[in-house]
Structures are given as C-alpha cells and as structure tokens.
Amino acid sequence: VIFGIGMTYGSGCGNKTLVRVGGGNLKSILVFAVIAVVAYFMLNPFPGTDKTLYSELFYGWTSKTSISLSTPQDLGSLLAAATGMPVATLRGILGLLLALALLAYIFRSADFRRSFDNILGGLTVGLTVLAAWYITGALAAISADGEVLDWTEYASAESWDMLEDDPDARPKDVGVQSFTFINPMGQTLRLALQGFDHAYVTFGVMAVLGVIAGSFLWALLSRSFRIEWFVDWRDFLNHFIGGVLMGIGGVLGMGCTIGQGITGISTLAAGSFLAFAGIVFGSAMTMKIQYYKLVYEDEASFVKALLSSLVDMKLLPARLRKLDAV
C-alpha cells in the first residue's frame, strides 16, 4: 500500500522512474536518488551505528505480525500441503490456469488485440523475466579445482573461502533472481559508496543501469528526449515524498510493480499476489483522493476525500460519503 501511494506521488513506479531518467526527466533523477538513499538505509546501518531505518521504525511491530509457514509460500506448495497432491503437478496446473485466465481476459479487449505495441511489450517483459530466472539459476557456471559450480555456489561464503584468497572480493547478493528495482537502487548507491568496487556489482545494479541506458537510447532514436523540471515547490515535494514512500514500501513489500507484480507472481508466491493487490489499492486510492481534491478544491479536506474514495471502492457504506461522486 505504501509503495502504491508513493508511485502515484512520484509519477510512476521504480521501473517507470528509471525509464523517465533515461528520457531526460530531471524530476525522476530526484526520485531515483531518494529511493536509493531510503532503500539503502532500510537495509544497511547508519554510519557509526548498527541501526537501520527498518530496525528503528518497523522491526518492533512488523516482527510481531509475521507468520511462519511449514512449506514454501507458492500456491502449489500450499495446496499440496492441504491436498497431498504432488507439488510439481500443482505448480504446473496452477501456472497454466493462471496464464490462460490472463490471456483470455486481456484478449477480450479489441483495443489490446489491435495494439502490436502491447502484445510485443508484454512478450518482451515476460520473456526477459524468464530469461533472468534461467541465467541466474542455471546458465552461469564456474569451473574451479576440477569442479563445476553454479554461480550461487561459487559465490557462497564457504566455497569462496576455499577457492579464493581475497574474502573482500566475494560478489555480493548473488542468488537465483529476476527483475526488481527498489532494493537494486539502494545497491547502486552502495556501489558508489564502495568506490565502484566490482564485488558490489549485482544483477540488480546492472538491471537498473540497463533500463536507464535502454530508455536513453530509445529516447534518442525516437527523438523524444526532453529535459523536464519541477513545475513548482509542491511538485518537488510530491515527488520527494513519493520517493521516500517507494523506498520504504518497496523494501517492506520486498518488491515493486515489477518485482512483485511480474517477477514475484511468476513464482505463484502468495506474498506476491498480496503485495501486488496492496500496490494497486494504494495507487487507486491515492489517485481518487487527488481527483476529489482537484474537483472540489478547498471543500475537499483529506478526510472527506478519503472517505468518499473508499465509498467509491465499495470499502465503506454509501452513508459515509462526504462528497458527491466524480
């Protein structure tokens, strides 16, 4: 929810921020910087201390609401635990059913069917996420001392200590992974703070830089590169707040619209469905509140706009409406 609110104030999610940076949007550079700082200190201690933003502001109460599952959190594992059916079979069935349901839904739209850009874009994003899973999980291999190790095994503390001499050179944040952008923005800041030490170059950092580079190249080819600055101080404040909320929400929710909405859901993780629903809710609610305040101006206090928005979303009874629907 926090991330959804932030992406609305910040004119787009983490990925959209990077795309806009490549297109010349200076506002998005600020959002990128704020997200990077907040995400970094959510997970890394402040200088001279062992305290992080997460430990100081969130751990005390979020730890009390966390739950531990006896199985992995993907829907196949949860259903297998309840039914006794094979996990692999259920994962395949559920994945196929979800894919067919989504395809049936989107291709009902004539506008979507006529849009080559939508179809190509969807295929490209999906295949890119799939390729990242494959590359980080199966393709990369290292030959060391007569053994062939996958990248994760090679970069583990145990293997690295046996095979290499310099412990500080061990690559950071290595694992089977795909695209997400909030924590990697913090990793990009960490890379800069570490003097661009190659040990801190991660998959996420390269994804961040790759999106910016790709967007910049497309902006040049399409002649759409355009410098854009803040309209006024309120515009600046909105984007700053959006960056803070995205940095916090993206770390707490362990992903963004890409990281949870596409990468996470591709694993059928229950937490990803929950996080994505929260992002959509937070963004939709914020846009409704902004619209009410735009239409009604001074008459629309935050509370009135919030209550009316929740009524519109069928989350409160109609008698609590404070403003006529718009």
Q: Is the pLDDT of residue 141 over 80?
A: no
pLDDT band at 167 (very low <50, low <70, confident <90, very high): confident
> Residues 211, 71: contact at Cβ < 8 Å?
no
Q: For residue 160, what pLDDT is reported?
A: 82
This prediction has a pTM of 0.90
Q: For residue 152, what pLDDT is reported?
A: 84
Q: What is the pLDDT of residues 173-202, one digit of tens each?
A: 888 899 999 999 999 999 999 999 999 999
Q: Is the pLDDT of residue 140 over 80?
A: no
Cα–Cα distance between 268 and 132 in angstroms, integer? 17
pLDDT band at 154 (very low <50, low <70, confident <90, very high): confident
pLDDT band at 227 (very low <50, low <70, confident <90, very high): very high
Continuous segment of H or E residues that includes residue 102: helix 87-106
Q: Is the pLDDT of residue 146 over 80?
A: no
Q: For residue 260, what pLDDT is reported?
A: 95
Specify the 3-state DSSP secondary structure of 296.
helix
Q: Is the pLDDT of residue 138 over 80?
A: no
DSSP category for residue 253: T
Q: For residue 75, what pLDDT is reported?
A: 92
Q: Is the pLDDT of residue 258 over 80?
A: yes
Q: For residue 165, what pLDDT is reported?
A: 78
Query: Which tokens in the block code for residue 305?
Result: 């706009």
Specify the 3-state DSSP secondary structure of 51.
coil
Q: For residue 119, what pLDDT is reported?
A: 92
DSSP category for residue 74: B
Q: What is the pLDDT of residues 239-255, one digit of tens each?
A: 999 999 999 999 999 99
Q: For residue 153, what pLDDT is reported?
A: 82
Cα–Cα distance between 133 and 321 in angstroms, integer? 47
Q: Is the pLDDT of residue 208 over 80?
A: yes
Length of the chain: 326
pLDDT band at 151 (very low <50, low <70, confident <90, very high): confident
pLDDT band at 172 (very low <50, low <70, confident <90, very high): confident
For residues 29-39, give the mean pLDDT: 97
pLDDT band at 1 (very low <50, low <70, confident <90, very high): very high
Query: Beta strand pairing status for 141-144 and 147-150?
Result: antiparallel
Burial (CB < 10 A; 0-12, 13-18, 19+), residue 67, is exposed
Q: What is the pLDDT of residues 48-80, one digit of tens each?
A: 999 999 999 999 898 888 888 888 999 999 999
Q: For residue 156, what pLDDT is reported?
A: 82
> Residues 23, 224: contact at Cβ < 8 Å?
yes
pLDDT band at 159 (very low <50, low <70, confident <90, very high): confident
Percent residues over pLDDT 70 in the chain:
99
Q: Is the pLDDT of residue 147 over 80?
A: no
Q: Is the pLDDT of residue 319 over 80?
A: yes
User: Nearest 5°: CA angle at 72, between 70 and 76?
Assistant: 115
Q: For residue 306, what pLDDT is reported?
A: 94
Q: What is the mean pLDDT of the chain?
A: 92
Q: For residue 200, what pLDDT is reported?
A: 93
